[in-house]
Amino acid sequence: MLERSPALSVAGDMGAPQRHDSAHKHVAGEAPYTDDIVAPAALLHAYLGLSERAHAGIVGLNIDAIRAAPGVVAVLTAEDIPGVNDVTPVTGFHDEPLFATDKVTCHGQPLFAVIATTRDAARRAARLAEVIYVDLPPVLDVKAARGFGTGFVAPGMTLTRGDAKDALSAAPQRIKGRVTMGGQDHFYLETHVALAVPGEDGDVTVHSSTQHPTEVQHMVAHVLGVPFNAVTVEVRRMGGGFGGKETQGNLFAAVAALAAVKLRRPVKIRPDRDDDMIATGKRHDFVVDYEIGHDEEGRILAVEATYAARCGHTVDLSAAITDRALFHADNCYYYPAVHVTSEPWRTNTVSNTAFRGFGGPQGMVGAERFIEEVAFATGRDPLDIRMLNFYGEGERAVTPYHQVVEDNIAPELVTELERRSDYRTRREAIRELNARSRIVKRGLALTPVKFGISFTATQYNQAGALVHVYTDGSIHLNHGGTEMGQGLYTKVAQVVARAFQADLDAVKITATSTGKVPNTSATAASSGSDLNGMAALDACETIKARLRSFAAGKWDVDPAEVAFLPGRVRIGSEEVPFADFVCAAYNARIQLSATGYYRTPKIHWDRQSGRGHPFYYFSYGAACSEVAVDTLTGEYRVERVDILHDVGRSLNPAIDRGQIEGGFIQGMGWLTTEELWWDAQGRLRTHAPATYKIPVASDRPRIFNVDLWDGENREATIGRSKAVGEPPLMLAISVLHALSDAVASVADHRFCPCLDAPATPERVLFAIEALRERVQKGAGQ
Ligand code: MTE
Ligand code: HPA
Ligand code: MOS
C-alpha cells in the first residue's frame, strides 16, 4: 500500500493547491475503478449484440447459435424486460429502447445481450446472431436530413432581439457564409462499465461509471418495473466522463441490472473500446449558416444565423445542447440586432450527447468566425475587431436571451493577456518572419471565452449533502456530485475541512450513492463544486450551530464566543481539542450528523419567449496561440500558448490549473486532429485510436503559460469561486484561428480562409491550395 501523502494535513485549507485526493493512486494504478471492484462470487459477464445496419426493419432474429455457444447462460432481448423497454433520459420523450425490436435506426444500436461465464465467451457469442434486416435508406448527416426532411428530434429554439432583417439591410457591409465543425469522441480512458449485484426481494445495487447516478437509478427501475427505492446506484470514481457519461451509462447499467435480477447473480458489462465508440454518443457536429451586417470600422450591427446539429437517432440531450449553442452564439460580443435559430436534426447515426461545453463550444466557434470574417472584410487585426465588439454598458450589455451581462471582465482580461503574451510585437515579428520564410508560415490568434454557468433546465440547479462527525473527531462526507478526475471530491472535502477547521485527511471522502443523498442532478454543466460545495457547507453549518449552542450552554458563554480553530474549539477563554469537544457533545445527546441542501438563486428561464436569466454568472478566459504550418503538407505544430483564465477565488489552484490545461488540450484535439468518419452505410470507421487521433504528450504546445486571473466571483458562490470544468475547452478556438492566420498569410491576408474544424493537416492544406488558386486567378485577370 502507498503511504498517505503528508500534504493532506493542513487544517482548513480551502483555497490551497492540494493535490487530487487520489492522484497518488491514479499514477500508481491503485485507484479502484468499477471494473476493479473485487469480483463477487458467481459473477457473470454481459456483452451487447449491436445492429449492423444504420436503418432497417428487423424481420428475424435467430439466437439459437448464441444459446449453444460455450459458456453462455442466457440471451436477453426486449421480451425479457419486465418493465418498459425504454431508457430515454429526458421526460416527455420515449424514443430510446433498451433493445431494438422491429427496426433499427442506427448502426451499433443494441439488439440483445449475451450473458456468459466469462467476458470473452459473451463477446464471442454475441457475434453469432442471425439477424434478418430489410434495409431502409439511412439519413446520415444534416445535409441529408434537410433533403429527406427527416425532422427534428425535439423542437428547435429561437433567440431574437431587435429586428435583424432590417438591421441587415441597413448595414453598410454584409457577409454571408457557413462554418462547419466536427463532432468528438469522449475517449475517456475508462470505457463504460456497470456491475449489478442482486439483493433480496428483487432489489439491486448497481456500480456504474456514470455522471448521473440518480438517472441510472430511474432508468434501471423503469426497465425492471420496480420503484426507485428498490435500486441503489453507487460510483466512487470514473476514469473520465467529459459528458459522455451523463446519459450514456444508462444502457449498460440497465442491461447489467436486468440480467442480475433475472438470473439472481452479479453481472458485469464492459464494452471494448471499439464498441464503446460505435455504440455511444459523441459531441454534436454543427453546420452554421450566417449573415452578418457591420460598419466600416468593423462594428457588428446584425447577426442572423441557423445552427443545425446532427443529433443522431434519438433525442437524448440534444434539445438542451442545441439551446446552449444559441446561448453562446454571442461569446463575448454584443449584437445590436440578432436572430438565431437551432435545428436539432434526426439522423441514422448514434445519438449525440453531452460533451464538455455542451453545445457552447459550437456556438462560440460560430461567433469567432463572424469576427474573423469582419476582420478580413475591413482589413483590420481580428483582435481589434474582438475588442470593438465586446459587451459594454447599458443596452450594449444585453444578450440575445435578454440577460444583462453584469460581470463582464472580458475587456480587462483580454487587454492583460495581450500585454502578457506580447501580442502586438509578436504579430509584427511573425509578419516579417513569414515574408522571409517560403514554406513554413506562422500564425497567431488571441480569442476570448465567456461561458454561462448554471443548468439551463432550472430544476437541475440543486444539490444535497450528508455529513457525519464521529466521536473521535473524524468526519464522513457524502454529496450528490460524482468524481471523474476533475477533483470535485477534493474541493468539497476542502470546504468541509475549512468549515470545521479540520485537517483535510480527517475528512473521509466516500462514494456517491443514491441511498445516501437522493434526487441528485448530473455532475455536469461545470456546476459540481458550486452546487455540492454549498450543500456540504450547509450541512456543516447545521452541525456547527448545534455544537455552538451546546458549548454556549455547557460553558455558560455567548454562542459568539465559540470559535472553531485548527484541531480545537475555543469556548470563552478555554480551548478544547475537537475530538474531546464532539465527544462531550455526543454525551450531551447532540446530533452530530446533518444533511445539507442548496439551490442556485436568481435564475429563471422561459424557453418559449426566449427571455430570462438562465445563468447565475459567467466564467471568462482568453488564450493566445501561435502555430507553425508547413504549407507544402499542411502539417503544423503549436509553438506557444498563453492562457489567462478566470476561476474567481480558486478553491484549489492546482486542480484548477489541471482543468485549464486539460480542457485546452481536449479542445485542441476537437478542433485539429480528431475526425469522426462514417461510411455511406452509416458505419463509424474511426472507432479506435489507430484511426481517431487524440492529442498525445508530444502535441502539447512547446511553450505553455497558464495563469489564473486575480479576481473573485461577484456572486456569493462557494468561497467566491467560479466553475472551471468546461470553459477552458473553448480557449482552444485560438488554435483554430492561429492556423487560419497562418493559412491566410499565403495570400497576404487578403481573403478569409474560412477554415472549418477539425482543421486536420489535410483540411489546412486544402485551404492553402484554395487561397493560392484564388491569388493566381486574381493575377490572371
Ligand atoms: N475533468 C476530468 N479530469 N475528467 C472529466 O471527465 N469532465 C468535464 C470537466 N472536467 C471532466 C473534467 C465536464 S464535461 C464537466 S461538466 C465538469 O468537469 C464536471 O465536473 P465539475 O462540475 O465538478 O467541474
Ligand atoms: N449542461 C450540461 N448538462 C446538462 C445541461 C446543461 O446545461 N442541461 C441538462 N444536462
Ligand atoms: Mo459536462 S458536458 O456538462 O458533463
pLDDT given for residue 2 in this prediction: 41
Select from 322, 324, 460, 527 the residue to mutate for testing ligand 2; criterion: most ligand atoms less than 8 Å from CB. Answer: 460
Alpha carbon distance 279, 261 (integer Å):
24
Read off the pTM: 0.97
Name the phi and psi angles at 518, rounded to 5.
Answer: -95, 170
Ligand 3 center to 725 CA (angstroms): 8
Report the amino acid identity of residue 285: D
Mean pLDDT of the chain: 97
Which cell numbers in the block locate residue 661? 490545461
Our answer to whether residue 726 is catalytic in this structure is: yes
pLDDT given for residue 730 in this prediction: 99
Name the residue with the closest Cα to ligand 3, atom 4. 243
Each residue of 674-704: pLDDT tens digit?
999 999 999 999 999 999 999 999 999 999 9
Alpha carbon distance 149, 143 (integer Å):
10
Select from 186, 210, 283, 456 the residue to mutate for testing ligand 2; criterion: most ligand atoms less than 8 Å from CB. Answer: 456
pLDDT given for residue 1 in this prediction: 39
Report the amino acid identity of residue 75: V
Atom of ligand 3 nearest to the CA of 241: 4
Q: Is the CB of 455 under 6 A from ligand 3?
A: no
Residues 6+ apart with CB under 8 A from 552: 558, 559, 561, 562, 571
Angle between helices 528-555 and 488-500 (to 10 degrees): 20
How far is CA 742 from each of CA 114, 626, 633, 669, 773, rounded to the nearest angstrom?
53, 9, 13, 18, 16
Which cell numbers in the block locate residue 658? 489541471
Q: Is the CB of 360 under 6 A from ligand 3?
A: no
Each residue of 252-288: pLDDT tens digit?
999 999 999 999 999 999 999 999 999 999 999 999 9
Ligand 3 center to 316 CA (angstroms): 13
Give the residue from 255, 271, 251 showing the smallest Cα distance to 113.
Answer: 255
Name the residue with the closest Cα to ligand 1, atom 11. 242
Ligand 3 center to 590 CA (angstroms): 40
- Check 726, 762, 769, 773 and give the catalytic one: 726
- CB-based burial of residue 27 (10 Å sphere; 0-12 exposed, 13-18 middle, 19+ buried)? exposed
What b/e readout covers 158-193, taking b as 16+ CB neighbours within 10 angstroms? ebbbbebeebbeebeeebebebebbbbbbbbebbbb
- Give me the percent of the chain exceeding a pLDDT of 70: 98
Select from 184, 455, 484, 694 the residue to mutate for testing ligand 1; criterion: most ligand atoms less than 8 Å from CB. Answer: 484
Alpha carbon distance 333, 194 (integer Å):
44
Alpha carbon distance 223, 82 (integer Å):
7
**How would you write 706-724 as a 3-class SS string?**
EEECCCCCCCCCHHHECCC
Alpha carbon distance 34, 49 (integer Å):
22
Handedness of CA 678, 682, 683, 688 (dihedral sign): positive
Report the amino acid identity of residue 578: F
Alpha carbon distance 273, 25 (integer Å):
23
C-alpha dihedral, 698 to 658 to 22 to 689, nearest 10°: -40
Ligand 3 center to 243 CA (angstroms): 4
Q: Is the CB of 246 under 6 A from ligand 3?
A: yes
Which cell numbers in the block locate residue 370? 463572424
CB 652 within 8 A of CB 488: no
Q: Is the CB of 306 under 6 A from ligand 3?
A: no
Q: Is the CB of 488 under 6 A from ligand 1?
A: yes
Q: Is the CB of 294 under 6 A from ligand 3?
A: no
Q: Is the CB of 480 under 6 A from ligand 1?
A: no
Select from 356, 455, 460, 670 the residue to mutate for testing ligand 3; criterion: most ligand atoms less than 8 Å from CB. Answer: 356
Q: Which residues pair with 575 in a beta bridge?
A: 570
Count the helices and strands in the chain (H runs, E runs).
19, 29
Which cell numbers in the block locate residue 234? 453507487
Which cell numbers in the block locate residue 53? 445496419
Atom of ligand 1 nearest to the CA of 241: 6
Q: Is the CB of 211 under 6 A from ligand 3?
A: yes
Name the residue with the closest Cα to ligand 2, atom 2. 525
Neighbours of 150 (CB within 10 A): 15
How far is CA 285 from each of CA 279, 288, 732, rounded to the nearest angstrom?
17, 10, 17
**Sheet (strand 593-599) strand order:** 507-509, 475-479, 462-469, 593-599
Q: Is the CB of 484 under 6 A from ligand 1?
A: yes
Select from 455, 456, 486, 652 the residue to mutate for testing ligand 1; criterion: most ligand atoms less than 8 Å from CB. Answer: 486
Name the residue with the closest Cα to ligand 2, atom 8. 455
Q: Is the CB of 619 under 6 A from ligand 1?
A: no
CA 265 to chain centre: 34
**How many CA atoms within 13 Å lie on the side-chain side of 456?**
26
Greatest alpha-carbon pair distance for the chain in Å reads 96
Give the residue from 455, 494, 460, 457 showing the smallest Cα distance to 477.
Answer: 494
Ligand located closest to 354 CA: 3
Q: Residues of the chain whose pLDDT is less than 70? A: 1-12, 780-781
Ligand 1 center to 12 CA (angstroms): 24
Q: Is the CB of 240 under 6 A from ligand 1?
A: yes
pLDDT given for residue 11 in this prediction: 64
Q: Are strands 204-208 and 231-235 parallel, antiparallel or unpaired?
A: parallel
Report the amino acid identity of residue 199: G
Q: Is the CB of 488 under 6 A from ligand 3?
A: no
Angle between helices 410-420 and 382-389 (to 10 degrees): 160
pLDDT given for residue 188 in this prediction: 98
Q: Is the CB of 356 under 6 A from ligand 3?
A: yes
Each residue of 200-219: pLDDT tens digit?
999 999 999 999 999 999 99
CB 447 within 8 A of CB 381: no
Ligand 1 center to 724 CA (angstroms): 8
First to last CA, the chain: 76
Name the residue with the closest Cα to ligand 1, atom 16. 524
Atom of ligand 2 nearest to the CA of 521: 10
Q: Is the CB of 482 under 6 A from ligand 1?
A: no
Atom of ligand 3 nearest to the CA of 244: 4
Which ranges of 328-422 would DSSP assign to H, the alpha helix?
Answer: 360-378, 382-389, 410-420
Q: Is the CB of 524 under 6 A from ligand 3?
A: yes
Ligand 2 center to 295 CA (angstroms): 36
CB 332 within 8 A of CB 365: no
pLDDT given for residue 7 in this prediction: 45
Ligand 3 center to 272 CA (angstroms): 23
CB 330 within 8 A of CB 364: no
Q: Is the CB of 324 under 6 A from ligand 2?
A: yes
Alpha carbon distance 320, 311 (integer Å):
11
